[in-house]
């Protein structure tokens, strides 16, 4: 079988490794190198780095709408195109090239959380479960029929980072299962997605990371967990902007104005919210590193409880 793989970020690397296990990957597509780091030098994507380590040919077109780029894909004579967080739109002309079409590994239980940020949106919404779907791609955004899926339960302290890693590994497992069936001549049965339960996971925006103390503490805790490690929640804490890497919702009614510091101890810094309080556990000052609340308080002896 001749497989062409298309992916870009860390999430896609385990799937590339699974697809390449039987030496069937004939080419890897990934987004062009981008400026990164303090020096803003051009940096290869994680998928490109993994592909080069395996000695696989790498293609980096700016778009697949270009007829020349489409001809390049066709020349590879793929039996299957596997797409995992590639980041470029595949026009119908490309979807039609492989013998078995294009498969996509998506980090949600479709049709819930179609779109760009399914991992973070699941945590933010308070979902009890997430998972991955192996989907037959079509022109719509994550609308294709599902071939295989696996679910998992979200931990009470699940973060965007921890769920990312779990689903990346689970996605590789589901892809490997699908490829195993295809090699055996047992093509996975495509199940159309139900019309009910569709939710869109819109792309993350840095502006969303700003906490509003008027919100319910449970909502804010989920926001902190969902946006860790990016874009990281932030808020004003008695005149200073801090980033919040970990927090815990505390139930109850404080009777204090929202944003007030209710307690500041080694256990954390409790902030009055619209409902309940949010205990800040790990915070980061401008230009500093993430530290436990107790260490932050050593540098903020001016912090006034109830002010």
Question: Binding-site residues, please?
Answer: 108-111
Give, rounded to a whole angstrom, the gap between the first and last alpha carbons of the chain: 67
Asked whether 52 and 58 are in contact (CB, 8 A), the reply is yes
Structure tokens, 304: 């006034």
Q: Which residues fall in the annotated binding site for (6S)-5,6,7,8-tetrahydrofolate?
A: 108-111
Instruction: State whether the Cα torsion 236-241-242-244 is positive or negative.
Output: positive
* Number of residues in the chain: 307
Asked if 254 contacts 262 with a C-beta cutoff of 8 angstroms, the reply is yes
> With contact defined as beta carbons under 8 Å apart, do 5 and 16 qualify?
yes
- Here the tokens at position 155 are 């931990």
């Amino acid at each position: 079988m001749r497989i062409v793989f298309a992916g870009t970020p860390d999430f896609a690397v385990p799937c590339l490794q699974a697809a390449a296990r039987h030496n069937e990957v004939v080419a890897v597509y990934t987004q062009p190198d981008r400026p990164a780091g303090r020096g803003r030098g051009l940096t290869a994507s994680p998928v490109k780095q993994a592909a080069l380590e395996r000695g696989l040919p790498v293609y980096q077109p700016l778009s697949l709408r270009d007829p020349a780029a489409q001809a390049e894909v066709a020349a590879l004579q793929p039996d299957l195109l596997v797409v995992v967080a590639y980041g470029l739109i595949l026009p119908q002309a490309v979807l039609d090239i492989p013998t078995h079409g294009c498969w996509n590994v998506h980090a949600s239980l479709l049709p819930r959380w179609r779109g760009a940020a399914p991992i973070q949106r699941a945590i933010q919404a308070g979902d009890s479960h997430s998972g991955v779907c192996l989907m037959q791609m079509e022109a719509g955004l994550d609308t294709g029929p599902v071939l295989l899926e696996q679910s998992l339960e979200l931990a009470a302290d699940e973060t965007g980072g921890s769920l990312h890693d779990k689903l990346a590994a689970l996605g590789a497992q589901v892809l490997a299962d699908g490829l195993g069936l295809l090699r055996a001549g047992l093509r996975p049965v495509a199940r159309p997605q139900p019309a009910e339960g569709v939710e869109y996971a819109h792309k993350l925006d840095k502006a969303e990371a700003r906490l509003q103390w008027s919100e319910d503490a449970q909502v804010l805790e989920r926001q902190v967990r969902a946006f860790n490690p990016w874009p990281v929640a932030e808020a004003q804490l008695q005149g200073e902007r801090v980033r919040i890497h970990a927090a815990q919702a505390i139930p109850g009614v404080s009777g204090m104005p929202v944003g007030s510091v209710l307690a500041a101890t080694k256990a954390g810094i409790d902030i009055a919210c619209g409902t309940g309080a949010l205990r800040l556990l790990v915070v980061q000052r401008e230009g500093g590193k993430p530290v436990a609340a107790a260490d932050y308080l050593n540098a903020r002896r001016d912090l006034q409880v109830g002010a």
